Chain A
Amino acid sequence: SQKIEQNSEALNIQEGKTATLTCNYTNYSPAYLQWYRQDPGRGPVFLLLIRENEKEKRKERLKVTFDTTLKQSLFHITASQPADSATYLCALSYSSASKIIFGSGTRLSIRP
C-alpha cells in the first residue's frame, strides 16, 4: 500500500541549530514533493515545492532535497528560531492539478 512517513512525530532542537526533517515514501512515483507548515488550528502554509527532476531547492533559511531513488526528501531549516516551531507536513502530488497526499507531519519545537 502507499505510505508517506515523516521521521518522527516530534523533534526538539536548540535555537540556532539546523533542523532536519525526513520524508520517506513507498509505492509512489510523485512528480512533485512539497513541504507545508501548519500551526495549531490553522491551514497549511506552502513553503517549498521540488520537482522529480530537481535535486535541491532553497529559499532563505530553508532547503529541500529530493532523491527519487531513495524515495526520500530532506527538509532543512538553518539557524532555527523559536518562531519556526510548528508542524511540518511533507506532501506528494502527481500532476499540477492533482490532490496532495500528506504525510503525518513532524512537530518541531525550537527551544531558546
Chain B
Amino acid sequence: AAGVIQSPRHLIKEKRETATLKCYPIPRHDTVYWYQQGPGQDPQFLISFYEKMQSDKGSIPDRFSAQQFSDYHSELNMSSLELGDSALYFCASSSQSSGSYEQYFGPGTRLTVT
C-alpha cells in the first residue's frame, strides 16, 4: 500500500539559510499535518491543512510557513534557520471524508542546521 512520502530525507543547512520540505500524502487523503520532533522529544504539532485550507495551527514559528497544493501535496518552508530548528520533521495524512481519524506518518526529514 502507498505510504506518505517525504523529501528530502536528510537536509543540512547553515544558520540563516532557508529550507523547503515536501510531503506527498497517501492517495485520496484530504488532510495533511506537520510535526517537529527534537532529539529525545515527542512529536510537536506545527500546522495542518484540510482540502488545501489551513485547519489548525500549533507551535509553528513565524519564520515557518506551509501550504497544501491542488494535488494535495504540502510544503513546509523554513526561513532564517536557527540551530534549534535541527530536528526530525514528520508529515502525516488522514482521510476526514472517509471518517478515518488515524494519522499515517511519513518517514520524516532529518534537518541539521550548522
User: Interface on A for B, CB 8 Å cutoff?
Assistant: 32, 34, 36, 41-46, 49, 89, 93, 96-105
Contact = CB atoms under 8 A, between A and B. Distances in A.
Given A42-B108, A45-B105, A100 B45 contact: yes
3 A-B pairs closest in CB distance: A43-B105, A99-B45, A102-B42
Contact of A49 (B4, B56, B88, B101): B101
Given A49-B101, A97-B55, A41 B88 contact: yes
B102 A49 contact: yes
Nearest to B41: A104
Contacts of A34: 101-103
Interface residues of B, number: 29
A44 B99 contact: no
Contacts of B92: 43-44, 100
A104 B56 CA distance: 22
Contacts of B103: 34, 46, 100
Contacts of B106: 43
Contacts of B41: 104
Interface in B96-114: 96, 99, 101-108, 110
B90 interface: yes
Contacts of A36: 105
A97 B56 CA distance: 9
Interface string B36-48: 0000011111001
